[in-house]
Amino acid sequence: PLAVIPTHYFESVRQTMEGPLTVTRCRVGVCEEGSDTARSVCVIDFLVSQHPVAQILRDHVIFKIVPMLNPDGVYLGNYRCSLMGFDLNRHWQDPSPWAHPTLHAVKQLIVQMNQDPRVSLEFYIDVHAHSTMLNGFMYGNVFEDEERVQRQAVFPRLLCQNAPDFSFSNTSFNRDMVKAGTGRRFLGGLLDDTSYCYTLEVSFYSYMAAGSTAPVPYTEETCALMEPDGRKFSFS
């Protein structure tokens, strides 16, 4: 069935929001099971746990997590396109409520939250799985303000320090025209300079730890970036 978010959901969300906000969006393609399971499930499990860091985060930050943006395409087994054949991560600039209903709903929610004076939308993280590169790494945006560029590099550096499978050397910052329709690029231009927008990529298959000569396959037991309780990502 086509997934549609009812309009009354947005009003209930707005009534419960006040403070710093992080939005995370996962899984456009059926092949991105690692980004869906490892990222959203592990971090959600951690955030609702009794761990003292999780309790502090819940007290100070609002998390909005979309575990799967493309449920119909994933159900059908599409590699990266939706039920109607669209790559949802290329239509952020002008999504259609008819052709891209889930993307339209998520974008509408983010825009409304950004316009709410009670909310400080500080992070947007778009999570994918990568078919050719090893490790976890990030894509960020390029800005004219050098100080903003340096601030944007802090979070990937923290991830690199906390997670042995995250590679800062593979992380890059760009403004490729071919990526203009992605969530990272569109929201990087929409939100103000206190917001940080990233794409987090996690390898399909394995990572290479520092000083190692053999890749470590990604399994539930070896996923260091997304530990079973999500601590590595959340501690950063």
Cα–Cα distance measured from residue 32 to residue 144, given in angstroms and rounded to the nearest whole number: 33
Average pLDDT over residues 197-226: 79
Average pLDDT over residues 123-139: 90
pLDDT at 50: 92
pLDDT at 48: 87
pLDDT at 110: 93
Residue type at 177 in one-letter notation: M
In the numeric block, which tokens belong to residue 201? Answer: 């990529």
pLDDT, one tens digit per residue, over 8-29 is 444 544 455 565 767 766 545 4
Q: What does DSSP assign to residue 135?
A: S
Burial (Cβ within 10 Å: 0-12, 13-18, ≥19) of residue 97: exposed
Does residue 1 fall inside a structural domain?
A: no
Number of domains forming the structure of the chain = 1
pLDDT at 5: 39
């009354």: which residue's tokens? 8
Its pTM stands at 0.82
With contact defined as beta carbons under 8 Å apart, do 113 and 121 qualify?
A: yes
Does residue 214 fall inside a structural domain?
A: yes
Establish whether 144 is a catalytic residue: no
CB atoms within 10 A of CB 4: 11
pLDDT at 7: 42
Q: If pLDDT is split at 50, 70 and 90, which confidence band does 74 have?
A: confident
Does residue 201 fall inside a structural domain?
A: yes
Write out the H or E segment, with its range, that includes residue 56.
Answer: helix 52-60
Catalytic residue among 18, 122, 147, 201: 201
pLDDT at 14: 47
Q: Is the Cα dihedral 20, 88, 82, 112 positive or negative?
A: positive
Strand partners, 127: 26, 200
Does residue 94 fall inside a structural domain?
A: yes
Cα–Cα distance measured from residue 79 to residue 89, given in angstroms and rounded to the nearest whole number: 13
In the numeric block, which tokens belong to residue 18? Answer: 């006040």
CATH code of the domain containing 48: 3.40.630.10
Does residue 2 fall inside a structural domain?
A: no
Taking the CA atoms of the chain, what radius of gyration do you get in angstroms? 17
Confidence check: pLDDT of 153 > 90 = yes
Does residue 221 fall inside a structural domain?
A: yes
Q: What residues make up the domain containing 154?
A: 7-235
Cα–Cα distance measured from residue 68 to residue 102, given in angstroms and rounded to the nearest whole number: 9
Confidence check: pLDDT of 167 > 60 = yes
pLDDT, one tens digit per residue, over 27-59 is 454 445 544 555 566 778 888 889 898 899 888
81: which residues sit within 8 A by CB, 6+ positions away? 29, 73, 87, 88
Rounded to 5 degrees, what angle do the CA atoms 214, 215, 217 make?
135
Average pLDDT over residues 78-98: 91
